[in-house]
Chains A and B, each alone.
Chain A
Amino acid sequence: MLSRTAEGLFWAARYLERADGIARLLQMGQRMTLIPGAGRDEWRSVVSVAAASDIFDPDERITERRIVEKLVLCPHTPSSVRYCLDRARENAKAVRTALTMEMWEAINDGWRRLETADLDAAVRELPVLIDWVKHRTAGFRGAAESSMLRRDAYFFLRVGGYLERSDLTLRLLDVKYHILLPESEVVGGGRDHHQWTTILEALSARRAYHHVYRSDFSPWTITDFLILNNQFPRSVVYCYNEVSRYLEMLSHAYGQRHDCHMMAGSMVAKLADTEMGELFQSGLHEFTLDTMRFNAQLSGAISRAYHF
């Protein structure tokens, strides 16, 4: 397979996953503004998870309208939904022969919707737009799952997708870690409860959480769920297990092992040995920072291994 094709698949999957992640964040943001006693700047944390702080004035009161303008419709903001979908489609188009017709249709169908959307209508219909983005990305993943041959192209796509997904969970933790710190439990009260649940909300994990823990919310269990639960498909450990698994399939298919395999393998082993208590002890914030850094290094190692 051409190195450029592998690169295109890897990035198409990453950008789609990113668009999906941003859409989920926006859903969380909108929900936060609905909580009684919400502050005046609920969107600020969404903006920082989306790594878009620098496009808003530090003193600006960020309105939903500004969010839709910048993080949904803007073709130039690197973390806007439109930007991510455009890049995903560009990458997919450049490697079109590696996609199945169903995958191409999933990514191509209606791709101009955001381009032609009017700001007022988009603000009014934000939940509809968010659903649309989630459906599109789900449609693409599903088309890949049900129509692609299980060989290198598929593996690159999955590696890219899971790597990006872990990144979003990590960024969310990075911005929200302070409300999960044990101290905040002392503060207690309904407000914290809402803060915690919004984190789960952002990852569409509220119901899943209950299925797993059958208990009330606590910072430990939420953090455990988002980082160490190997059943939850957006947890850091789950994503890494998948990244590592698909990298191993590539190694098997090509009969070659590279640095990236070692790196992913050691991360999986490390997470498997980690206990929640240790994470809090050694610092949740440090953990997320280190892991995000590791993510970037792993991405670089994958490019080097496959010549893209």
Chain B
Amino acid sequence: MFNEMSGSDGVTRPAYKGIEDWIEKTGIPALLARTEEAEAIFRKIGITFAVYGEGGDPERLIPFDLIPRVFAADEWRRLDKGIKQRARALNAFLWDVYHRGEIIKAGIVPDHLVYQNEAFLPEMIGVDPPGRVYSHIVGIDIVRTDEKSFQVLEDNCRTPSGVSYKLETREIMMRMFPELFQTISVDPVDNYPDLLMKTLEEVAPPACTGNPNVVVLTPGSLNSAYYEHSFLADQMGVELVEPQDLFVDEGRVWMRTTRGPTKVDVIYRRIDDDYIDPITFRPDSVLGIPGIMHVYRSGGVTICSAPGAGVADDKAVYCYVPAMIKFYLGETPILENVPTWQCAKPDDYKYVMENLADLVVKEVHGSGGYGMLIGPKATREEVETYAKRIEADPADFIAQPTLDLSAAPSLASGNIGARHVDLRPYCMVGKQLRLAPGGLTRVALREGSLVVNSSQGGGVKDTWVLSE
């Protein structure tokens, strides 16, 4: 296992030297005491995370680990390039599948993966969103397996969440340990809201004249990511609206205000495609803004991300992202995929069924760490039950080797131990590509656990990119 601090050979890596000194100087008891202090701050600010379907505390705190995860400047430079490359390719793919489908005609991506995909929206065919951008915030989940090797675990092209944790963990670290930032120079991340605002303003619709009116659209305060929605709206200085605040009239979208109706140009929506427009998508639904898709298609408003962007972040489509990079950009992928078996393919299916106990199997359309099988951690019964599910619908599953994820020093069970981590950077796509240094580091706080999803008991860490 690769340890982010001590590498593979037990010698502290240069990027972690400052952290090592700090841990030594502070001592574990003091760090544990300060963890409680950090939790009190989180609770006070109200940074909480609700877990779907688990009942219990609807305003659970997300566990926060005090020990930062560190990238050296040169490590980050490479990641930065790889992430932007991938975000460009994914957007090129989205434009292509909603237009001529060249990549399908070229025989690179199978047509059924696209056109029969639930996330593919025929209503989007031929629509030209400003700047040809469909996914304005691409969240790319990256894992590390050794000193040089980074792999992409999955892409999130719809509305990846978690960026508020990245910003808040940094705020809390700076508030609690100012001396740490005085001795080690760390790239700041607090420009994220400005970058996001610039990105959203850049994709204003053709009908917009003057300064674009940007809003954040949330399903409401019961949503698990509501804190983040309000945080981003607040940081950008824009309105946080709910669907019932918006309506369509005279070919434009308006919001109800205390002065009467006000035009809306760009909507950073944090609601699912299904709930955007009941007329277009869910005639049975009362949620959403009736008629907004018509306005969108005629260039009266920009919806970020575009409806139908999810067709690019499917776990089956994922296998073809390296091919997309070559096809659209003519470049060699900087970040590799994790080797993936598609159960839809007979050979792959056979291999997966024979090696279930060693593999991680995921539902093609699943997300959030739900409904997956981690072979080496599962009981024989669990493996058998899962095998039946795969048998019933092979195309619905993919499998990957159980990765030897890197681990970072973390405070757990009253001591410091190595816990597995991943990284989710948020790449913003407007006329330009923008990326704030680092991303959100998620950590599997249970010893030996490989699941870092916050919905599955994972925690977060501050992520540092050291200044050059």
Contacts and interface: CB of A to CB of B under 8 A. Distances in A.
Contacts, number: 57
A101 B239 CA distance: 16
Interface residues of A, number: 24
Given A97-B233, A97-B234, A108 B46 contact: yes
Q: Which 4 A-B pairs have the closest CB atoms?
A: A306-B258, A96-B230, A97-B234, A3-B256
A6 interface: yes
A307 B260 contact: yes
Interface of A: 1-6, 90, 93-94, 96-97, 101, 104-105, 108-109, 152, 156, 250, 254, 256, 306-308
Interface stretch (B8-16, B175-183, B240-248, B342-350): B240-248
Contacts of A6: 258
A306 B261 CA distance: 11
B45 A2 contact: no
What's the dominant secondary structure at chain A's contact region?
A: helix
A93 B234 CA distance: 13
10 contacts: A2-B245, A2-B258, A3-B257, A4-B242, A4-B256, A93-B46, A97-B233, A97-B240, A101-B45, A156-B258
B105 interface: no
A2 B239 contact: yes
A2 B256 contact: yes
Contact of B44 (A93, A97, A108, A250): A108
Given A4-B245, A97-B234, A254 B221 contact: no
Contacts of A306: 258
Contacts of B260: 307
Given A96-B230, A105-B45, A3 B258 contact: yes
Contacts of A2: 239, 241, 245, 255-258
Nearest to A306: B258
Given A1-B239, A4-B245, 8 more contacts: A3-B258, A94-B221, A96-B234, A96-B240, A108-B44, A108-B46, A109-B44, A307-B258
Of A2, A6, A90, A307, the most chain B CB neighbours within 10 A belong to A2
A93 B259 CA distance: 23
Nearest to A4: B245
A193 B316 CA distance: 82
Contacts of A256: 259
B443 to A, nearest CB: 26
Contact-residue size bin, chain B (C-beta under 8 Å from the other chain):
20 to 34
B322 interface: no
B220 interface: yes
What's the dominant secondary structure at chain B's contact region?
A: mixed
A1 B257 contact: yes
A94 B242 CA distance: 10
A250 B255 CA distance: 19
Contacts of A96: 221, 230, 234, 240
Contacts of B244: 4
A109 B244 CA distance: 30
Interface string B198-227: 000000000000000000000011000010
Contacts of A90: 221
Nearest to A152: B258
A21 to B, nearest CB: 26
B269 to A, nearest CB: 16
A94 B220 contact: yes
A97 B241 CA distance: 10
Given A94-B221, A96-B234, A97-B230, A105 B44 contact: yes
A307 B256 contact: yes
Contacts of A1: 239, 257-259
Given A3-B245, A94-B221, A97-B230, A307 B45 contact: no
Of A3, A97, A254, A256, the most chain B CB neighbours within 10 A belong to A97
B46 A254 contact: no
Given A3-B245, A94-B220, A254 B258 contact: yes
A93 B256 contact: no
B54 to A, nearest CB: 19
A14 B46 CA distance: 22
Contacts of A4: 242, 244-245, 256
Nearest to A8: B221
A124 to B, nearest CB: 26
A101 B45 CA distance: 8
A90 B233 CA distance: 18
A254 B234 contact: no
A35 to B, nearest CB: 41
Contacts of A308: 258
A135 to B, nearest CB: 16
Contacts of B258: 1-3, 6, 152, 156, 250, 254, 306-308
Contacts of A94: 220-221
Contacts of A97: 230, 233-234, 239-240
A96 to B, nearest CB: 4
Nearest to A94: B221
Contacts of B220: 94
Interface in B36-65: 44-46
A42 B62 CA distance: 47
A4 B239 CA distance: 11
B403 to A, nearest CB: 38
A256 B257 CA distance: 13
Contacts of B221: 90, 93-94, 96
Contacts of B240: 96-97
Nearest to A112: B59
Interface string B359-390: 00000000000000000000000000000000
Contacts of A3: 245, 256-258
Of B220, B241, B257, the most chain A CB neighbours within 10 A belong to B257
A28 B230 CA distance: 40
A306 B258 CA distance: 5
B200 to A, nearest CB: 16
A90 to B, nearest CB: 7
Contact of B257 (A105, A156, A250, A307): A307
Nearest to A305: B258
Contacts of B230: 96-97
